Amino acid sequence: MALLFAAMVVYASLYPFEGWRLPGHAPWTFLIAPLSRYWTWFDVLSNLLGYAPLGFFLALGFQRSGRGAWSWVLAVLLPLGLSLTLETIQNFLPRRIPSNLDLGLNLAGALLGASSAWFLERLGGLQRWSEFRRLWFEPGAHGSLVLLALWPFALLYPASVPFGLGQVRERIEETVWPLFVDTPFQDWLPDSLSGEATADVLAPVACIALGLLVPVFMGYADIRTPARRMAFLGVLLLAAFGVSGLSSALTYGPEHAWAWIAMPVMQGVGVACAVAVLALALPGRISLVCMVCALVVSLGLLNRLPSSAYLDQSLEVWEQGRFIRFHGVSQWLGWLWPFAALVFGVRAVTRPPLRQDTRH
């Protein structure tokens, strides 16, 4: 998790990775420059909270590896070094401005995260989490927990249908097709998306239902009892609606947070809930098979859906507005999360079952 958050920080700090040039001053002059008088609360919170998870997970990782008192120091110094490096590199990007204020906020975020982990350790929170994990999840539940933790972040980026992650065909066409124009391979390419768009009104409902069932089955594969699976289902639905509402509120304002909830959405959610309840007693490996099948069908249907004016308007707000520094992270998560889950599911299904220890 610390490595994933570090990668997100690097992406958000250096996006859009173009226009590199040599600065006309020393790269470290921003350290002694006066504090900027122009700032927004969005910039303050994003710089502060962007580094808090990094410090938190680094502190946890170092504590679990037995570094003791050094865990807090390393969890602060490493994010500080990363922030200093990225702010220095921003001198070479014309669309980014290095700032000592950003550096200070990043340090404060790392301090907040590392201190939170330190207090959790002193209060016994990590021990309770280990006990909770032992009671609720199978011993090998590692990759699934990371993917489930990333799923809400992937939902932040607008999608053509709610919970529909992995709609990449149109972007692939925009990137790949120009490479084959006026070549012998041009006739091998599929027809344009607009010519193959799915007109079935049930397709969005199916995509919504399958989009929810994928993380449901992923969680079922590693959660022990039906009662706990039912509790997990409730938490997942709350997270799905909460994050989707937050995405809509960030895009159009708080008054439009729930504008995306329409009849097809409720139908899809209803189907997903019914299937999830019926599947409460499924064995873990069968749950993984169901997850892989749901992913394959969902990606097939989703990438045949046409783009909508609502989606185009949402993307314009995210890609050209105040979220321009962060839309790439959530965008890549929304694109790649289903494929990472597919690789995880196939590997888990084909892996030989663990031999149970029969010793007393």
- Domain end call among 120, 136, 152: 136
Q: How far apart are CA 3 and CA 8, in angstroms?
A: 9
Task: Read off the pLDDT of each residue in 200-205 and give the average, rounded to a whole number.
Answer: 80
Q: How far apart are CA 341 and CA 337, in angstroms?
A: 6
Q: Is residue 355 part of a domain?
A: no
**Nearest Cα residue to 30 out of 110, 80, 107, 104:** 104
- Domain end call among 106, 136, 166: 136
Q: Is residue 280 part of a domain?
A: yes
pLDDT band at 351 (very low <50, low <70, confident <90, very high): confident
Q: Is residue 357 part of a domain?
A: no
**Same-domain check for residues 79 and 194:** no
**Same-domain check for residues 84 and 166:** no
- Domain end call among 136, 169, 196: 136
Task: Read off the pLDDT of each residue in 148-170 and give the average, rounded to a whole number.
Answer: 84
Q: Give the residue carrying structure tokens 């938490």.
A: 235
**Same-domain check for residues 167 and 257:** yes
What pLDDT, on a 0 to 100 scale, did the predictor assign at position 315?
55
What pLDDT, on a 0 to 100 scale, did the predictor assign at position 358?
36
Q: Is residue 360 part of a domain?
A: no
**Same-domain check for residues 104 and 175:** no
**Same-domain check for residues 98 and 150:** no
Query: Encoding tokens for residue 356?
Result: 């149970």
For the whole prediction, is pTM greater than 0.85? no
Q: Which comes out higher in pLDDT, residue 68 or 344?
A: 344
Q: How many CA atoms are closer than 13 Å to the CA of 318, on its beta-carbon side?
A: 21
Buried-state track 213-245, b at ≥16 Cβ within 10 A, e below 16: bbbbbbbbbbbeeeebbeebbeebbeebbebbb
* Cα-based angle 123, 127, 132 (whole degrees, multiple of 5): 120
pLDDT band at 207 (very low <50, low <70, confident <90, very high): very high
**Same-domain check for residues 6 and 71:** yes
pLDDT digits (tens, 9 = 90+) for 123-150: 887 778 778 888 888 877 778 888 999 8
Q: Is residue 358 part of a domain?
A: no
**Same-domain check for residues 35 and 147:** no
Contacts of 24 (CB under 8 A, 6+ apart): none
The range of the structural domain enclosing residue 35 comes to 2-136
pLDDT digits (tens, 9 = 90+) for 113-123: 999 988 888 88
Max mean pLDDT among 246-250, 331-335, 343-347 falls in 343-347
Buried-state track 14-41, b at ≥16 Cβ within 10 A, e below 16: bbeeeeeeeeeeeeeebeeeeeeeeeee
**Same-domain check for residues 225 and 110:** no
Query: Encoding tokens for residue 181?
Result: 């124009």
Q: How far apart are CA 228 and CA 220, in angstroms?
A: 9
**Same-domain check for residues 185 and 333:** yes
**Same-domain check for residues 130 and 169:** no
pLDDT digits (tens, 9 = 90+) for 246-260: 888 877 777 777 888
Contacts of 11 (CB under 8 A, 6+ apart): 328, 329, 332
**Same-domain check for residues 128 and 7:** yes
**Same-domain check for residues 58 and 155:** no
The domain tally of the chain equals 2
